[in-house]
Chain A
């Protein structure tokens, strides 16, 4: 295999790794959330946003876990009410200069703010 073919293969592999991860529907862990229809409604809206809308508007979140994904994880962890509020809080903070409010070790190499759902 010549050099250009190797480079082309590497390029294809690298492009593949940059693709967004599969965005699944809610995976509810708490039994109380499983019987709330509004949880599924919120999950459905977020699912549609992530798979259809965000690509159309070229959404680029300033947090490492994007606001929609974070909201989804918060709903999984805290339930519909608190999860939505925590997600909305991140959404309202999401601005291009937000990294200046955070400590150095919370900024990732690509300049995004590291965030995680506290269990």
Chain B
């Protein structure tokens, strides 16, 4: 009987030592690990602590954001739904964080963000939704410091790639001018003019049926078609780039105006 009691006591002792649910989860220690970038120790501590499922997912989500593992963050996001909705500071941090990320992660976050918390009338989330379909009538809703970027985006957003293509076909460089690339349009128009003058010169001096004329016509045609294709592509990429720039500035603006952190 005594032996049995001793065994039970030893088992109970080891159980108490190994199972740390009886000890409290130390948030300060997690902050310390986070501050000193102890990534492995941080994850090991979280996994060894016996937190409820949602709390565990919540802290792991913070951990993955800190070490920029976005796909793993989204896996934890669903379980930590309620806790995330209460942590407005972290939500604000996430808004600023994902505005600077790739488009697919950004989209995924703001879809989830809408589920967690409905659209605000101000803030990074609001700016994100405005920039999805920007129009000049919404300019006043954007903070003053971001207005110039928003106006530039709204203006280019209306431009159609097909129109730029057709304009480039009419006059080289006109398509670039249409989307606001003044320097590119001048460079293109200048180069095309030089090639055109070379054709005129070669036809005037050596005639049309001559290798030099063929070479000049070939150069002119190649650059002419390249400019048409390029204008079409540039219109698409410029929209994308201006949107990214706007999001970068929104993120910086809100990060400076309303500082937010992970913990």
Contacts and interface: CB of A to CB of B under 8 A. Distances in A.
A84 to B, nearest CB: 7
A51 interface: no
B248 interface: yes
B229 A93 contact: no
Interface residues of A, number: 21
A100 B183 contact: yes
Contacts of A90: 230
B89 interface: no
Size class of the contact patch on chain B: 20 to 34
Interface string B202-230: 00000000000000000000110111011
B245 A89 contact: no
A93 B227 CA distance: 9
Describe B's contact surface by its main secondary structure: helix
A79 B75 CA distance: 39
Interface in B227-253: 227, 229-230, 233, 241-242, 244-245, 248
Interface string A31-67: 0000000000000000000000000000000000000
Contacts of B187: 92-95, 98
A90 B229 CA distance: 11
Contacts of B242: 103
B222 A84 contact: yes
Contact of A101 (B181, B222, B227, B245): B181
A89 B187 CA distance: 11
B184 A98 contact: yes
A104 interface: yes
A89 B233 contact: yes
Contact of B245 (A84, A85, A93, A105): A105
A105 B230 contact: no
Contacts of B176: 93
Which 4 residue pairs are nearest across A and B when measured between Cβ atoms?
Answer: A89-B230, A88-B226, A103-B245, A101-B181
